[in-house]
Amino acid sequence: MVNSTIRKITMAVLAPAMALGATVGLVSAPASAAVWNTCDRYGSTNLNGYTLYNNVWGSGAGSQCTWANSGTSWGVWADHPNTGGIKSYANSTKSINKRIDSLGWLTSDYNVSVPSSGAYETAYDIWDTNHKYEIMLWMNKTGAVGPIGSYQDNVTVGGHNWNVYKGTNGSNEVFSFLRTSNSTSGTVDVKPILNWIAYSKGWMSSSETIGDVQFGYEITSSSGGLNFNTDNLTVSGG
C-alpha cells in the first residue's frame, strides 16, 4: 500500500499533467514535473522573484500539498473536511514595497483552473508593510464562504465590477472586493483600486506603503481531495 504522504506528493507533482488530460504513470514523473513540492503545513520556497507558501493555518485542517513548476505556474491539492472555518491560504507572494502615492502602476494577470465543488475563493490578499490594512480581491468563489465586515458599495474599478465590504478581523482593517461574476482569467489593474480606497473613500492614507501582493486559494473545505491549478500568475508594479 502506498504511503499516504507519498501519494499526496505524487498527486501534487502530477497535477499539471492531469489538468491537461495527459496519461501519466506513477513510476516516472513527466517532463513537466514540478521543480518544488511540499506537504508541510508552512512549507515555502522562492522561485523567479515569487515566494510560494503552502500555508495550512486554520484549525481542523486536513491534508494539503503545494507544487510549482515556477513562481508563476503552480498548484495545490487539498483534502480538507466539510466543516466551517478557513483551513488554508496557499499562495504566491510578490513584494512591491512602494507607497500608494508614489506607485506608478500595479497590475496582475491571472489564469486558474478551479474545482466546481468545495468551499473556497480565489483571491488576492494585499498588505501594507505594517499589516494595518488588508485588501482582498475575490476573483471567484464557490460554496459557503463570505467576506469579513459589512457591505459598503458596488464599484467598477481596476477592470472589474465589485461588491465591496469593510470590517476588521481584530488585528487589522479588511477591505474585501468580491467580483460580481466569477472569473478564472484576466487582468486586474490594482493601482486604481488602491486609489479608490485612499482618495475616494479615505479608508487608508495614500502614504501607506504596499508591501506584499499575494494570490492564492483560501480554502474552507475540499473533502475527498481537490486540485487548484494556477496556470499563470504574474504581478508587476513600479
Mean pLDDT, consecutive 10-residue segments, the chain of 238 residues?
A: 38 38 28 82 98 98 97 97 97 98 98 98 98 98 98 98 97 98 98 98 98 98 98 97
Asked whether 41 and 56 are in contact (CB, 8 A), the reply is: yes
Query: How far is the C-alpha of 26 from the C-alpha of 42, rounded, in Å?
Result: 26
The reply to whether the predicted model has a pTM over 0.85 is yes
Pairing relationship of beta strands 133-142 and 173-179 according to DSSP bridges: parallel
pLDDT at 38: 97
Question: What class, spelled out in words, does domain 4-237 have in CATH?
Answer: mainly beta
Supply the pLDDT for residue 226.
98
How far, in Å, CA of 149 to CA of 135, rounded?
Answer: 12
Which helix (DSSP H) or strand (DSSP E) does residue 13 occupy? helix 4-19
Query: In the prediction, which pLDDT does 137 show?
Result: 98
Q: Cβ of 25: how many Cβ atoms within 10 Å?
A: 8
The answer to whether the beta carbons of residues 62 and 81 sit under 8 Å apart is yes
